[in-house]
Amino acid sequence: MIQPHTPDSTARGRGRGLEASASVTADTPPAESGLSVRNLSVVYPGARGAAPLTAVDAVSLDVPRGQVLALLGASGSGKSSLLRAVAGLEDIADGTVTWDGDDVVPVPVHRRGFGLMFQDGQLFPFRDVAGNIAYGLAGMPRAERARRVEEVLDVVGLPGYGDRAVTTLSGGQAQRVVLARALAPRPRLLLLDEPLSALDRALREQLATDLRRILKAQGTTALYVTHDQDEAMSVADRVGVMASGRLLRLDTPEQLWTDPGSAPVARFLGFGPLLDVDAAARLGWSGLLEGRPGELLALAPGALTAYAADDVGAGADVVISGRTEAGVRVPVSAVGMRGGRRVIGVELAGETATAVLADDGAEPVRAGQEVTVRLDPRRTAVVQA
């Protein structure tokens, strides 16, 4: 049975603006511990007379020691430019980057004590696994170096792989070696740019979970760039959502899901449709927007359940603001499977929404027929337009 809805149970953080939702602002003093970025901008010169391009636009954020922060955003949103600027690989047009309160901008890349891991880690093909990992440990006594190589191979789940030729590794194993190589010198900050993007989905999911475990076990401070929201949410303590060079939002995965704050962030996380008060009223759901004038009701993935049978008495009633709402009859536009469950596309307020098909014993559902959809109010959020 779905619990009675109270507006605050699904839509917290009233009145959060885009700017107010980032956890630090340009005026916040740099943190005494860990990475602090203030008002950082990266501007690329325009090619052949074109206007310069602001790839990172006045971004401020902190990564306290031992925390993992993921930057999430669509292609071209400026994530890599920000990461590269922190690494020292890109000039900054404005702003500051500090570690433990010390300015690192004048410090050359290789002296920052930051480690880097990219999508294609580019192992040296002529060195074995141990040789690749030891590469960053020059200057360490031989025996200690060998011990550290063994240690990080254990950490990434490849014990005893030191003698293997890197050309014989699978894609997943190769990226584990790349991670081991990045971790070996114990960087004070690890910068990871789409480290799993070249892998297939199943491997990506497994490695994302492993990566989080490894980074947390090592106490690694990390900035992690990805366009994959599941990856960001599984790896990071906090997730920053970027669009057009700006940091729209920075929060814990849980808080982002319960309160995305604004329409662009909600859309990027996969919420939809986003209903204004009129559309919500036509569907009988306007109670969820009570006291939130001008804002939108955002439906999270899985918010809708569809019942094919005419008699949907078996389905749970939805209680919105003390009223029991009947289901809504809508036409089916598409049928399919997702994550092993039958899902259907339904037309809702001019948008196609996905509903999970309830196992109500009905005949197979076809495009064009009508079904009843019910909303789980706990899977909604109220966001600024």
Ligand X SMILES: Nc1ncnc2c1ncn2[C@@H]1O[C@H](COP(=O)(O)OP(=O)(O)OP(=O)(O)O)[C@@H](O)[C@H]1O
Q: Which residues bind ligand X (CB under 6 A)?
A: 44, 53, 55, 73, 75-81, 227
**Nearest distance in Å: CB 226, ligand X:** 8
d(CA 369, CA 331): 6
The least CB distance from residue 82 to ligand X, in Å, is: 7
Distance (Å, whole) CA 298 – CA 21? 18
Q: Judged by CB, which is closer to ligand X: 46, or 113?
A: 46
Least distance from ligand X to the Cβ atom of residue 51, Å: 12
Listed residue (188, 267, 202, 193) closest to 232, CA to CA: 193
Q: What are phi and psi of 158, to 5 degrees?
A: -125, 50
Distance CA 351, CA 117 (A): 39
Q: Which is nearer to ligand X, 243 or 332 (CB)?
A: 243
Cβ-proximal residues to 319 (8 Å cutoff; 6+ apart), any chain: 2, 3, 4, 5, 325, 377
Question: From CA 85, how far away is CA 258, in angstroms rounded?
Answer: 31
Q: Which is nearer to ligand X, 81 or 258 (CB)?
A: 81
Nearest CB to ligand X, comparing residues 51 and 202: 51
CB of 357 to ligand X, least distance (A): 34
**Smallest distance from the beta carbon of 73 to ligand X, in angstroms?**
5
Nearer to ligand X, 241 or 296 (CB): 241
Neighbouring residues of 327: CB distance < 8 A, sequence distance ≥ 6: 307, 312, 315, 318, 372, 373, 374
Q: Peptide bond preceding 273: is omega within 30 degrees of 0, i.e. cis?
A: yes
* Smallest separation, CB 228 to ligand X (Å): 10
Q: Report the residue number, 49 or 313, with the smaller CB distance to ligand X.
A: 49
From the CB of 46, what's the least distance to ligand X, in Å? 8
Residue 278 φ/ψ, nearest 5 degrees: -70, -45
Length of the chain: 385
Of 370, 353, 341, 368, nearest in space to 285 by CA:
353
- Of 35 and 149, nearer to ligand X (C-beta) is 35
- What's the CA gap between 146 and 184, in Å, rounded? 11
Least distance between ligand X and beta carbon 92 (Å): 13
* CB proximity list for 79: less than 8 A, separation 6 or greater: 71, 72, 73, 193, 225, 226, 227, 242
Q: Is the separation of the CB atoms in 264 and 243 below 8 Å?
A: yes
What is the phi-psi region of residue 272: left when phi exceeds 0, alpha when psi lies from -120 to 50, beta otherwise? left
- Between 52 and 160, name the residue whose CB sits nearer to ligand X: 52
CB of residue 75 vs ligand X: minimum separation in angstroms? Answer: 3
* CB of residue 271 to ligand X, shortest distance in Å: 21
The helix (H) or strand (E) run that includes residue 328 is strand 328-338
> Among all chains, which residue has been given the structure tokens 């990992």?
133
Cβ proximity to ligand X: between 79 and 204 the closer is 79
Q: Which is nearer to ligand X, 7 or 73 (CB)?
A: 73
